[in-house]
Structure 1
């Protein structure tokens, strides 16, 4: 809504309440009572579209879908006569009716929606807060189901309106001073409980680009299907109004062989893009389709054809034609194509796509090593390929984080080297900045790490990994309330990636939302990820018996999804079961004698294991509040695998909080760079001011 709407309010002849039960008041404050429900819906439709004329035939079909069109139009004609007569009884002459169209007189309407939108655009956060609290969580034009056609129409209008409000709120919160912005954020969550896009434009359409089917009648190295998916994904991610599902989640869901509707549901998207690429002696033929995730029906489709050279050399065909058509189908304005420093070499591009596909195969032995090999080969062909340098950096950091390795700090350094090279070639590589941020933690420089994470988000806010890494960096520093929107956004983008739910569980536990933490952790377990954080949430909730059982059950993942500590030989089943039973009691039983016994074992493991800083030592040490061991390990070595445990330091329950309450904690925090980060970016939730200040 523009500022002109605020001016017409004083001249309006009717005041409408659009949120909740639809209601109309005349200038004298009297309620206009409409006993004819369809007459009320006609007026509500016009109030929701006050600047547009409504086609009478479309209106008749919407309100009388079960009648023949001539009958429906006759019913509409009588309904309009009744409505106009009723309004005139209250001195209201705002209904404009012609043979073909119906509309409201310009400037005649004032409503609660206008109040909110005018407050947002006028930079009046106090008024916006009041308007938000007044409408609460009531939907537009609340009421019982009317008919399928109208129900679908009003549902779509509600979604569009909420998307518009989220966009306005996002901008208003970004512009507001910190204190007012925080209040406006809380008011926004009164309407949108999971509101999270507090510093960027909210999304109207959530889309997943599925892998395209590839049919090749020639043979050889044919990569175009993956290439088109890659180009579509990159361009769509840069369009305001679109939230794109992360590649990791898409890859995980597509392997289940589900229906399109179930796939959309699992990914949390409203639309899917699917397609097919065929190659024969005549050239390339590509079919693309935009599918409604709710119904599985086709919203838009197109076919393209040409030679492989035309498709590869001129990716403009994707941007100029396909992206523009998709945006038109979604009623969005296409943004300028994102800056992208791609290779012009087909071989390098094919190797890049193969390498990145391997890196997405989380949990498959040897996948990361093979992915790195492909990416390095691509860079041998084209050493100026910036996006490939970023992919290689990510491959190294992921190898260090989630595979058994005794070279994690060195792998992190190699990831940083590749990321720096990517940024030199293309400063727009936001993901590369986030990888640099991870490496700064290994150098005890979290202030620089957070700076890099924010820089990454500024350059590429639509990347799920960028959101995730900014959220995790804030969590490590104990700033859970600030981290939560980014973590929630990462979960939205990658809804079947278990690691994101571990972060979400920790964030909720850090802010005391135990029920939400239990739900997030259960979702993580349902996805087939080891339920470590579910056991943690159960312990925090006081259900020690369930926590012990949950942790013990994770033993079946050892050596597969649950990585074995590097350099440690496999255990037989009996030894494994005995160890997990001992660990489960020590961490989660709540009995001090069990805790002390397992703390002693961890001290022995720290002294004897090839990697004395492994996550299998530090995570339970944090959960049990073994503060001396926690501070010793992190003082000596932070690497991409064990830093993930830092986010759990800030759960304010015994025994976990024994570390942050330890007399030596501030000295430790200063030594690893946390204090410097707090002084620059604000103190953590549990330490709002420097406790050393007199």
Structure 2
């Protein structure tokens, strides 16, 4: 550690230079700006002498190369994250580059370094130059790896580079949300014209280089809140909005489309399309050829050729697809998920080659398996995988369908195969929030939290108003021991209407046990709305509900050994008596309480789409959760679940770098 502050800053300045060299005049100007040139040069000579003595006393050898005109670092003696990243990118080592980027995260180069205004301005400029250079090099390597067929390395490096270097995405300048269009219909009937326009806009804009598109789920969550346009733009973290309306009369359909500047709410472009119903159905071509091109011109973007969208030519099939897809995530309590499957299947009966509809049906089956109480969750997962497989066979660009197939591989105890599919999905659709989040979740499940975080953050950047996403983000930070961001993400999850048990668990681990128990107990009020009764069970009375949640809150959050033992015994009993012995209502609290025997029993018996989400919570190195990982049978358990194979193929967990539970 250098004791001379100016000496430390001098070395830092040299590290930022491509050739690790700076002329003496520049060093004098930056480090001694308030001294006359002769004084500054004398101070530099003394500083270099002090550095040489210190390096020699610590056995570092000749670190500095000093000439009459310049000072340089001997590259052979230089070890830093920046140097290592440069070397990894230079040698096309995507895995090493990704690992370094994941480790440094968003920390600035030479963090917490400040000296004087001249120095600070120079450092800020150099940081920008270095980040731009490294970001461009990283994304070029991503393209090279993708072209070489290395989907895992390209996906991992892409996510890490996007997290560190937003400008490298080519996305940050323009972030866009397409708001739902109202339909003013003076005719009646099931003509989902407005949904068709927004569907086409979203699909086409999502393929334009230079645009980051807000996820549909977040848009649907924000749109009904009666916010102003500027408030919606802030909620969705976008720079621009597209709004409009569809008006239908007996003779004419009129579509109005407007581009809004998010910061001011000002309309900066608008257009109108008119025609008959037949002309409207063909208007997808008009939107693609004219509207999208006009929007790109206004935004200063070049409209690059994109793969043709393989849509249906059947009007009825398209209408059913729009209806079914819009229902998938809107409700979990009124049969909407089941109805969505019915509508999508009707669409495919009319056009069995409609690839996007097969993907939507696969997604509906998974959503149904997760959120609808049922006893055939693995069967629904199998159906989803079959639909997804059909989608990819019809259109290899359906990356989301590949990720859905990965979910079913988990139920087949094949997490290595699941990750293969998820990485390939990301290589095909890196801008799809669902794809990024599925890959991030799979990595969380096997304990690769640092590798998972960039994918989760990338997904949330595009889908910032979906509470489930913050459950993953909160758990990721918790697993890494980053309590403040974990708590913030957990609170955001509650704010967006999702259950807050994860926040309670983190609060308890943070020593705020009373608050944790209160937060956990408060979630009982979500029963029968957000939290549905387990499959095959009747809704609890208020008294029984309150008693059960009180025992659970104490057992998980209080830190009282007797309360934990009592709730563990209750979960053992539920596992033996409930129609689904592997239900999340048993599996999740078993993990949070470190009830290792029950956790291993449940997941050996059955992994299904509803309980696999709990696997991400195995990897917090806190009491009592760590008891599962430290259990003597854990490695056998991991072998049985296929995790060891996944670790060998995709990297070992952060907490087990040497393959040992206690490492």
- TM-score by length of structure 2 reads 0.78
Name the residue aligned to 1:213: 182
* Deviation by residue 1:237-258 (Cα, 9 ceiling, x = unmatched): 1112211111111111111121
Change in 2 beyond 3 A, CA 1:515/1:204 = same
Name the residue aligned to 2:223: 254
Name the residue aligned to 1:89: none
Per-residue deviation at 1:281? Answer: 3.9
Q: Answer whether contact 1:514 1:540 (CA < 8 A) is retained.
A: no
Name the residue aligned to 1:548: 517
Name the residue aligned to 1:491: 460
Name the residue aligned to 2:526: 557
Name the residue aligned to 1:361: 330
| Structure 1 position 171 matched with structure 2 position 121 | no
Q: Identify which of 635, 655, 660 aligns with 2:604.
A: 635
Larger CA deviation: 208-217 vs 344-353: 208-217
Once residues 405 and 290 of structure 1 are traced to their aligned partners in structure 2, the CA distance between those partners, rounded to angstroms, is: 44
Name the residue aligned to 1:509: 478
Aligned positions of 1:67-146 closer than 5 A: none
Change in 2 beyond 3 A, CA 1:172/1:423 = closer
Name the residue aligned to 1:272: 241
Per-residue deviation at 1:364? Answer: 3.7
Change in 2 beyond 3 A, CA 1:496/1:532 = same
* Deviation by residue 1:504-524 (Cα, 9 ceiling, x = unmatched): 011101111111100000111
Q: Answer whether contact 2:222 2:465 (CA < 8 A) is retained.
A: yes
* Deviation by residue 1:113-170 (Cα, 9 ceiling, x = unmatched): xx99xx89995999x999x96686999xx99xxxxxxxxxxxxx9xx99997795265
Q: Answer whether contact 1:166 1:202 (CA < 8 A) is retained.
A: no
Q: Answer whether contact 1:288 1:302 (CA < 8 A) is retained.
A: yes
| Structure 1 position 525 matched with structure 2 position 524 | no
Name the residue aligned to 1:690: 659
Change in 2 beyond 3 A, CA 1:134/1:454 = closer
Per-residue deviation at 1:636? Answer: 0.8
Q: Which secondary structure state, in structure 2, belongs to the residue aligned with residue 303 of structure 1? A: strand
| Structure 1 position 326 matched with structure 2 position 295 | yes
Query: Which runs of 5 or more structure 2 residues have no equivalent in the other structure?
Result: 1-15, 17-23, 31-81, 119-124
Once residues 658 and 638 of structure 1 are traced to their aligned partners in structure 2, the CA distance between those partners, rounded to angstroms, is: 20
| Structure 1 position 373 matched with structure 2 position 330 | no
* Deviation by residue 1:341-396 (Cα, 9 ceiling, x = unmatched): 21000000000000001112133420001111110111111111111111011100
Q: Which secondary structure state, in structure 1, belongs to the residue aligned with residue 629 of structure 2? A: coil
Q: Identify which of 161, 173, 182 aligns with 1:204.
A: 173
Once residues 164 and 496 of structure 2 are traced to their aligned partners in structure 1, the CA distance between those partners, rounded to angstroms, is: 24
Once residues 527 and 592 of structure 1 are traced to their aligned partners in structure 2, the CA distance between those partners, rounded to angstroms, is: 33
Change in 2 beyond 3 A, CA 1:204/1:338 = farther
Once residues 564 and 235 of structure 1 are traced to their aligned partners in structure 2, the CA distance between those partners, rounded to angstroms, is: 40
Aligned positions of 1:644-683 closer than 5 A: 644-683=613-652
Change in 2 beyond 3 A, CA 1:679/1:121 = closer
Q: Answer whether contact 1:174 1:199 (CA < 8 A) is retained.
A: no
Once residues 692 and 452 of structure 1 are traced to their aligned partners in structure 2, the CA distance between those partners, rounded to angstroms, is: 27
Q: Answer whether contact 2:131 2:165 (CA < 8 A) is retained.
A: no
Once residues 283 and 138 of structure 1 are traced to their aligned partners in structure 2, the CA distance between those partners, rounded to angstroms, is: 65
Change in 2 beyond 3 A, CA 1:507/1:196 = farther
Per-residue deviation at 1:29? Answer: 8.7
Q: Identify which of 385, 395, 418 aligns with 1:426.
A: 395
Change in 2 beyond 3 A, CA 1:30/1:568 = closer
Once residues 657 and 132 of structure 2 are traced to their aligned partners in structure 1, the CA distance between those partners, rounded to angstroms, is: 35
Aligned positions of 1:434-453 closer than 5 A: 434-453=403-422
Change in 2 beyond 3 A, CA 1:121/1:216 = farther
Once residues 330 and 536 of structure 1 are traced to their aligned partners in structure 2, the CA distance between those partners, rounded to angstroms, is: 45
Q: Answer whether contact 2:629 2:661 (CA < 8 A) is retained.
A: no
Per-residue deviation at 1:543? Answer: 1.0
Q: Answer whether contact 2:310 2:355 (CA < 8 A) is retained.
A: yes
Change in 2 beyond 3 A, CA 1:364/1:327 = farther
Name the residue aligned to 2:71: none
* Deviation by residue 1:295-344 (Cα, 9 ceiling, x = unmatched): 10112211222233223235221111111111122222222233322100
Q: Answer whether contact 1:447 1:677 (CA < 8 A) is retained.
A: yes
Once residues 26 and 647 of structure 2 are traced to their aligned partners in structure 1, the CA distance between those partners, rounded to angstroms, is: 55
Q: Which secondary structure state, in structure 2, belongs to the residue aligned with residue 315 of structure 1? A: helix
Change in 2 beyond 3 A, CA 1:627/1:28 = closer
Once residues 692 and 622 of structure 1 are traced to their aligned partners in structure 2, the CA distance between those partners, rounded to angstroms, is: 16
Name the residue aligned to 2:354: 385
* Deviation by residue 1:381-418 (Cα, 9 ceiling, x = unmatched): 11111111110111001111111111101110111111
Query: Which runs of 5 or more structure 1 residues have no equivalent in the other structure?
Result: 1-16, 18-24, 32-114, 144-156
Q: Answer whether contact 2:89 2:141 (CA < 8 A) is retained.
A: no
Change in 2 beyond 3 A, CA 1:564/1:263 = same
Larger CA deviation: 460-469 vs 297-306: 297-306
Per-residue deviation at 1:469? Answer: 0.6
Q: Identify which of 246, 259, 280 aligns with 1:311.
A: 280
* Deviation by residue 1:184-222 (Cα, 9 ceiling, x = unmatched): 999x99xx9x63769955432111100112122232232
Q: Answer whether contact 1:375 1:388 (CA < 8 A) is retained.
A: yes
- TM-score by length of structure 1 reads 0.75
Per-residue deviation at 1:526? Answer: 1.2
Change in 2 beyond 3 A, CA 1:315/1:669 = same
* Deviation by residue 1:463-482 (Cα, 9 ceiling, x = unmatched): 11111110000000000000
Q: Answer whether contact 2:132 2:167 (CA < 8 A) is retained.
A: no
* Deviation by residue 1:91-131 (Cα, 9 ceiling, x = unmatched): xxxxxxxxxxxxxxxxxxxxxxxx99xx89995999x999x
Q: Answer whether contact 1:291 1:300 (CA < 8 A) is retained.
A: yes
